[in-house]
Amino acid sequence: MSVLFFHTMRYKVQDPRNASNDRFVLSKGHAAPILYSAWAEAGFLQEAELLNLRKIDSVLEGHPVPRQAFTDVATGSLGQGLGAACGMAYTGKFFDRASYRVYCLLGDGELSEGSVWEAMAFAGFYKLDNLVAIFDVNRLGQSDPAPLQHHVEIYQKRCEAFGWHAIIVDGHSVEELCKAFGQAKHQPTAIIAKTFKGRGISGIEDKESWHGKPLPKNMAEQVIQEIDDKIQNKKKLSPALPEEDAPVINIRNIKMPSPPTYKVGEKWATRKAYGVALAKLGHANDRVIALDGDTKNSTFSELFKKEHPSRYIECYIAEQNMVSIAVGCATRDRTVAFASTFATFFTRAFDQIRMAAISESNINLCGSHCGVSIGEDGPSQMGLEDLCMFRAVPNATVFYPSDAVATEKAVEIAANTKGICFIRTSRPENPVIYNNNEDFHIGQAKMVLKSKDDQVTVIGAGVTLHEALAAAEQLRKEKIFIRVIDPFTIKPLDKKTILENARATKGRIITVEDHYHEGGIGEAVCAAVVGEPGITVNRLAVSHVPRSGKSAELLKMFGIDKDAIVQAVKVAVSKSRNAE
C-alpha cells in the first residue's frame, strides 16, 4: 500500500474522484483500515478520524463504501473487486482513451471465488494493459489456511494461462515492489506478493486465528513502539499528480433523438423493442454503452452493436462478471451502462447486484425471456424469480413494459434514473397498444381499459396485460366489464391509482403475472393495499416449476391466460352477488 500510494499511483489527494486519477480497488474489503490509513497519510483524512473506525457517526465503515470520496465501489463480498476494476480499466482504455491506470488488491482467500477468474479471463482477452492486480498471498484465510498457501508459483502459472504478465515478489520488499509496478507490458499485470500476516510481530506472524482481531492493548502498545523504532525517515510523502487527459463528458438528461415510430396493433416483442430503443439511445449520447453475455441475438442488444460497435462489450457467458464490469464502467459517471441477458441468468449475479446497490451504482439491467411464455425452452430458461429479486434491491426501479412504445420509454427513463434499473422484457410478440406520444413516468400506472360499469380491476403486465385485454373483450359479450391496469413499474408501484380503481370496482382486484407467486406483482399489490378496508386481491401466477410446451399451452396450464382471468372475474362477481 505504501509503494502504491506514494510511489506508483498518480492522483490528486484532495480530489479523489478526479476523472484522470489512477483508480484503486480494495477487493479484500476487510482490510479497510489500511486503506483509510493510506488516505490519512496522504492528507485527505484527519489522522484522528481513524480512531472512529466502524462507529455509527463515522464515514469509516467496516468495509469500503462510496460514502467515502476515495471509494468507487463497495467491497467486502469477496471476489468482486477485480471485475469492477476490469470495467474501470476497459473504460479507461477504450472509452476515455486516457492514461490513468487501475490497481486492484486481492486476498489469496478470495481467489477461490469463480468470479475472480471470470474477471481474469475478461482482462486477458481484452488485453487490459492499464490494469494491475496485486495478490496478497499471506497464506491464511479466515478460519483455515488458503488452499494453495504459499505456493506462489501455482498462482503465477494460473495467471499466465489467463493471459496475464505475472510477477512473483517478496511483498515486504519495497525495492521488489517498485520494480514490479514499473514493468509495462501489452497485457494486464498480476503481482503475486508473498507476504506473512502480522509480519514482524512476535507470536503473531504467520499464525492462525488472528483474522479480524485487534491486538490486546498491552501487546498493541509494545508492537506500535517496535514499528515506530524501525521507521528511519518520517518525511511526509506526496503522490505524483496525474496527467489530466480524461475527457470532460456529460451523461445528464439523455433524450431519444426522435419519438417512437410504432403503429398501434403492430406486433412486437418487447425484447426486440429494447434493442431498437438502445441502439437509438446510442445516437443521443456517445457514453451510452451496452454489455451482454453471449445472448445479444436473443436480447437484441446486437442492434446496438451493429450501430455502435466500439461501445458494445461482449462479456461472454459470465453474468456475475458482466454485472461487475457494468458497475466499473459506470463509476465516476464515465458511462451509462446497459447490460442484458435472460432474466433468469441474473439470479446467479444477485450478489453482484446487491453489492452494486451498496456501491450506489447507476447501472441498467435488461432481463429478457421472462416467464413461461417463452415456451419450448423449458424452466431453466424461464425468468420466474426476477421481479422478486429486483424488488428486494434497495433504491431499485423495476420496469415491466407491456408493448414496444412503453419499452422505448423505459429505456430512455432508465438512462436518466439513479440506482439500479431493471427492465423486464418478453419473448412473444404482442400488439402495440400505446400511441407514440404516450407519456410514461416511474411510479405511474396506465389505465388501459375503463368504463363506468366496471366490476373488477385486473392488473397485468407484459404478456398477461394482453391476456387481460382479451379476457375483457370476452367478458364484454356477457355484459361483464372489467378495468385493466398496466403498472409500467412494479417498483415503485402506483398505489394511488390501484386503490382508486379498486374502490371504484367494489374493492375487487385480480393480479395476473408470468412469474411465481412469491415476490411478484400480486405481492407488490397486496403490500400496497394492506390495511385498506373492503379490498380483496386474487393472485393468478405460476404455481410450481413449469415444463416445455407452447407459450399458449403454458399460460393455460398455469392459469394465467385469458380463460383463467375470465373465470376469476366471474367468481369474484358471483361471490359479491351471493354476499348481497
User: In tens digits, what is the pLDDT along the chain, a chain of 580 residues?
Assistant: 999 999 999 999 999 999 999 999 999 999 999 999 999 999 999 999 999 999 999 999 999 999 999 999 999 999 999 999 999 999 999 999 999 999 999 999 999 999 999 999 999 999 999 999 999 999 999 999 999 999 999 999 999 999 999 999 999 999 999 999 998 899 999 999 999 999 988 888 899 998 888 888 888 888 888 888 888 888 888 999 999 999 999 999 999 999 999 999 999 999 999 999 999 999 999 999 999 999 999 999 999 999 999 999 999 999 999 999 999 999 999 999 999 999 999 999 999 999 999 999 999 999 999 999 999 999 999 999 999 999 999 999 999 999 999 999 999 999 999 999 999 999 999 999 999 999 999 999 999 999 999 999 999 999 999 999 999 999 999 999 999 999 999 999 999 999 999 999 999 999 999 999 999 999 999 999 999 999 999 999 999 999 999 999 999 999 999 999 999 999 999 976 666 5
Q: Which of 300, 381, 288, 324 is nearest to 121 (CA)?
A: 324
b/e map of 72-92 (b: 16 or more CB within 10 Å)?
bbbbbbbbbbbbbbbbbbbbb
Q: Which of 319, 412, 467, 523 is catalytic?
A: 319
User: Do 113 and 83 form a contact (C-beta atoms < 8 A)?
Assistant: no
Number of residues that this document lists for the chain? 580
Q: Which residues pair with 383 in a beta bridge?
A: 370
pTM here?
0.97
User: What secondary structure does DSSP assign to 471-530, as a single string?
Assistant: HHHHHHTTT--EEEEE-SEEES--HHHHHHHHHHTTTEEEEEEEEESTTSHHHHHHHHHT
Q: Which residues contact 371 (CB under 8 A, 6 or more apart)?
A: 382, 383, 384, 426, 462, 463, 513, 514, 515, 542
Q: Which of 387, 349, 341, 397 is nearest to 366 (CA)?
A: 341
Determine the Cα–Cα distance for residues 427 and 550; give it in Å rounded to an integer.
12
Catalytic, 319? Answer yes
Q: Which residues pair with 435 in a beta bridge?
A: none
